Structure 1
Amino acid sequence: MYIIGASGHGKVIAELAEDNQIVIEAFVDADINKKKLMGYEIIHENPPKFASIIIAIGNNQIRKKIAEENSQFDYLILQHPRSEISKRAGVGEGTVIMAGVTINADATIGKHCIINTNASVDHDCILADYVHLSPNVALAGNVSIGEASHIGIGACVIQGIKIGANCIVGAGTVVIRDIPDGVTVVGNPGRIIQQ
């Protein structure tokens, strides 16, 4: 497989691939000054057509742009061996699931999502494509999160909440009300600070 993005998130993805005994061919990065990362070569052009790929870029919009411009690749799903995913949950291509994550029954995770360390996704949650859950995020049951939203480290969302697309939920925020598209929410309880 090839890993697009040779920075911090790429390191985590590389170890995740190694934990799954997946052979890493190289990292791919536009920065021509980068030559090696973690002992792997960094190339500066597209991998071969139909190569197996993970996009290791934390920024949701950039990850989306790369995925949409490169549909010819075979996007893998990477799950850490020390994560728990219900057999009744669905996970889309290109999604990465880190150590300690729990995804419960009938949850649906979209394409190219990042479910980071120790995040918890309870029953019947729906995460659209390109969502990023930071470490220790806790989603109660029946939460839905719109495309390309980012939920910050340690945020908690009570059951039945709807979070719109392209939102940012700040670190440690407690979400107790629905959130419209395109806003930033912080605090306890969460309040909109930017539209």
Structure 2
Amino acid sequence: MTTNLIVVGAGGFGRETLDVVEAIGLTEPGRIRLLGVVDDAPTDQNVGLLTARGIPLLGKLDVLMTQPQEVRYLIGIGSPPVRAAVAERLDKSQRDAFIAIHPAATVGSMSRIGPGSVICAGAQISTNVTLGRHTHVNAGSLIGHDTRLQDWVSINPGAVVSGDVHIGPRTLVGANATILQGLSLARDVVVGASACVVRDVPSGVTVKGVPAR
């Protein structure tokens, strides 16, 4: 059955999400019919980039709300708090979010991927991993065994999350950062790029450096 799909967000990660969707379409022809993109405040540059690849900008987020109930969506917005706010708006429409896993990503046995999640090319997800709703696992990142990511988490390119780690809602792990095994990061944490996290991190804290502080 073909899925009619709209991507939310015309910015950088929105267009990366389009790449994932198009890659799925190449390996599974007919699985997805991309209707276009919605964005409440697209820049002229991003509109031009969508136009150049032949993808229509349908209008603001409210356009998605008017679509038939079977139309599904992906939120291609990199910021976890903004993504969470958009998801809460869309929850009211009671429509289903799509799960987009790039064909060049790997997902291990007994892993569970939440609705709305986007897994980019080269990402590696190990065994018995749980991803919450609308999680983003960027290109080349690694999620170790038995790890739990809650809703709206972003794992940026090249990050390594070791085994048995727990990451709370709306947390962002920066590019090339490392989270050591067995640690817990609470909600709304920001881990700076290339940081090495060696201890638990409480809610609302930004850490950076090696070791991360």
User: Taking structure 2 as the reference length, what is the TM-score of the superposition?
Assistant: 0.86
Per the alignment, residue 6 of structure 1 pairs with: 10
Cα displacement (A) at 1:32? 6.8
Helix, strand or coil at the partner of 1:14: helix
**Matched-pair contact (CA < 8 Å) for 1:57–1:63:** yes
Does structure 2 conserve the Cα–Cα contact (< 8 Å) formed by 1:17 and 1:23?
A: no
* Larger CA deviation: 68-77 vs 25-34: 25-34
For 1:88 and 1:181, the matched residues in 2 are separated by 29
1:30 is aligned to 40
> Which has the larger helix fraction?
2
Superposed CA deviations along residues 78-135 of structure 1, whole A, max 9, x for unmatched, are 0000111013111100000001111111111110010000110011000000000000
The root-mean-square deviation of aligned C-alpha atoms, in Å, is 1.3
Q: Residues 137, 33 of structure 1: CA spacing in aligned structure 2 closer, same or farther, 3 A cutoff?
A: closer
What code does the residue aligned with 1:80 have? Answer: H
Residues 75-86 of structure 1: pairs in structure 2 closer than 5 A: 75-86=97-108
Asked whether 1:40 is paired with 2:44, we answer no
User: How far apart in 1 are the matches of 2:129 and 2:182?
Assistant: 13
**Which is further off, 8-17 or 36-45?**
36-45
Alignment of 1:1-195 (within 5 A): 1-21=5-25, 22-31=32-41, 37=50, 38-44=53-59, 45-47=62-64, 48-50=67-69, 51-71=71-91, 72-191=94-213
Whole-Å separation in 2 of the counterparts to 1:49 and 1:128: 29
Paired with 2:107 and 2:154, the residues of 1 have a C-alpha distance of 17
* Maintained 8 Å contact 1:49/1:73: no
Q: Distance in 2 between matches of 1:78 and 1:39?
A: 20
> How many residues are paired up?
191
Structure 1 residues 125 and 41 mapped into 2: Cα distance closer, same or farther (>3 Å)? same
- Relative to structure 1, the CA distance from residue 182 to residue 14 in structure 2 (aligned partners, 3 Å threshold; closer, same or farther) is same
* More divergent stretch after superposition (105-114 vs 29-38): 29-38
Q: Matched residue of 1:70: which SS?
A: helix
- Unaligned 5+ segments in structure 2 are 26-31
Distance 1:177 1:3, change over 3 A: same
Residues in 2 aligned to 1:125 and 1:63: alpha-carbon distance in whole angstroms:
22
Query: Structure 1 runs of 4+ off > 6 angstroms?
Result: none
Q: Is the 8 A contact 1:28 1:42 kept in 2?
A: yes
Q: 1:181 to 1:33 in 2, by over 3 A?
A: closer
